[in-house]
Amino acid sequence: MFPRANLEPAPKRKRWQRVRDFWARVTEGLEISELWGQFKSEAHASYGLYSQDVDWDSLQKEKNIRRYFLSAWALFQALLMKLSPARRVLLLVAVLLLLFQPDIRFGATDVTLGLGWVGAAILFVLLALELGDRVTMKRDLEIAREIQQWLVPDHPPLVSGMDIAFATRPQNTVAGDYYDAFLRPLPAADSANSPLFVAVADVAGKSVPAALLMATFQASLRALSATPASLDEIVVVLNRYARATSLEGRRFTTAFLAEINPQTREMKFVNAGHNDPILRRASGQIERLSTGGPPFGLPLFSENDIPYPSGHVQLEPGDLLFIFTDGLVEAVDETGQEYREARLLSLLRTAPPETAAETLKRVLSDVNRFVGFARQHDDITCLVLRPSA
């Protein structure tokens, strides 16, 4: 028996195909449940933005129905004041036209024209204007992100006996997190013993201001690392520079800096107020690397430099070093619950013998499952190092 022929007219099939293609472009292949979850996350974030400008304490004194009305009006005003004065007037006109939908009567005839569509048209124009601003800003941020990506390595250095992987996820287009791993330049006669320098840092704040300070931190660290200065000397100078650019401590920087001898696998490190990296030994024992001092850039009550004692550990084959920023353990799900260090420690304790890249993927996948559709609220950066024989 021959297969049943498709009797649907070809023009109709083409129209449906065009509709499906358009829908695929609009949704980027996401399912309805994924789209709804994304919308809820974005709506929650927008509500948080506008609600910051509302005096909720005074509204709590009102009675129920009046309180709901005044709350809606306060949120509308918060949204309104985010616009330019001209766009505020247009939005008010559009809302009034949509609410009351006045009619215009033409002369003595019975012909009338409703003006509700004018309000809808004004809203569409406002949407187009705001979208144009957003696209322009997004383009500028993309350029800034491209420049920022030049400042951090796109692949780890090839160091014998060291398996390294790293990843970063900005909360916005640009980030205040910084990571690096490179061999310090030494004179040609001693180049075979170049130490491996590892850095992970987090500038307080987010987006463009933090990204700008991150760039200056990167430039300072790279310049100092090209000199014969020791790790202790580098830390002191970095803190001195950070104090001069931290806006009286409002833009401080936490950092974990380490220098590793690839031949002996001895690591010297300084923790400047950063989340304590996790060193899981081959035996399963967990060590936290906390030796150091406060974040860079905090104001001082004297002219003397803050002492930053350094720590020393001996890395062995089978060990796992995991360095991260606070955006990882403070990632929240849709209910506001944090990922927390306990979950990360449990995951690393049970990590099988695998590459650094596989460990990094395992952790980030677990974070993704935990947060679901919740919007990321801070930059996330991780660096994994596994010594090998």
Identify the structural domains of the chain with CATH numbers, from first to last: 19-116 (no CATH), 152-387 (3.60.40.10)
Token code pair at residue 92: 């008010």
Question: Which has the higher per-residue pLDDT, 100 or 300?
Answer: 100
pLDDT (mean) for 300-318: 81
Of 66-80, 184-198, 316-330, 372-386, which one has max mean pLDDT?
316-330
Question: Does the pLDDT of residue 95 top 80, yes or no?
Answer: yes
pLDDT value at position 1?
A: 46
Tell me which of 378 and 173 has the higher pLDDT.
378
- How far apart CA 307 and CA 57 sit, in angstroms, is 45
pLDDT of residue 3: 52
Q: For 138-154, b where at least 16 C-beta lie within 10 A, e where not — what string?
A: eeebeebeeebeeebee
Task: Report residue 106 as tokens.
Answer: 């033409």
Residue 360 structure tokens: 């990094």
Contact at 8 Å (CB) between 260 and 267? Answer: yes
Q: What are phi and psi of 112, to 5 degrees?
A: -125, 155
Beta strands at 380-387 and 320-324: parallel, antiparallel or unpaired: antiparallel
In this prediction, residue 301 carries a pLDDT of: 55
In this structure, how many other beta carbons lie within 10 angstroms of the beta carbon of residue 225?
Answer: 20
State how far the Cα of 69 lies from the Cα of 64, in Å rounded to an integer: 9
Is the per-residue pLDDT at 174 higher than 70? no
pLDDT at 168 over 60: yes
Mean local confidence (pLDDT), 73-90: 87
Determine the average pLDDT of the residues in 340-352: 89
With tokens 């920087």, the residue in question is 253
Give the chain's mean pLDDT. Answer: 82
199 pLDDT band, cuts 50/70/90, is very high
Tell me the pLDDT band of 145, cut-offs 50, 70 and 90.
Answer: confident
Assess whether pLDDT exceeds 80 at residue 248.
no
pLDDT at residue number 108: 58
Band of residue 219 on the pLDDT scale cut at 50, 70, 90: confident
Mean pLDDT of 128-153: 76
Extract the tokens encoding 219. Answer: 């430039």
- Return the percentage of the chain with pLDDT > 90, whole number: 17
Spatial neighbors of 219 by CB under 8 A, at least 6 apart, are 151
In the numeric block, which tokens belong to residue 364?
Answer: 């980030």
Residue 294 has pLDDT above 80, yes or no: yes
pLDDT of residue 255: 92
Residue 139 has pLDDT above 90, yes or no: no
| DSSP summary character for residue 191 | G
Q: From CA 260, how far away is CA 275, in angstroms rounded?
A: 19
Kindly tell me if the per-residue pLDDT of 152 is higher than 80. no
266-272/292-293 β-pairing: parallel
Least confident of 133-147, 257-271, 341-355: 133-147
Sorting pLDDT into bands at 50, 70 and 90, what band is 189?
very low
CA 232, 236, 239: angle at the middle one, nearest 5?
135
**Do the Cβ atoms of 310 and 355 come closer than 8 Å?**
no
Cα separations (Å) of 20 from 27, 31, 236? 10, 13, 61
Strand partners, 112: 105
| Residue reference for tokens 């933090």 | 210
Q: What angle do CA 161, 162, 166 make, to 5 degrees?
A: 165
CA dist 312 to 57, 181, 246, 275, 290, Å?
52, 18, 29, 17, 11
Higher pLDDT, residue 144 or 204: 204
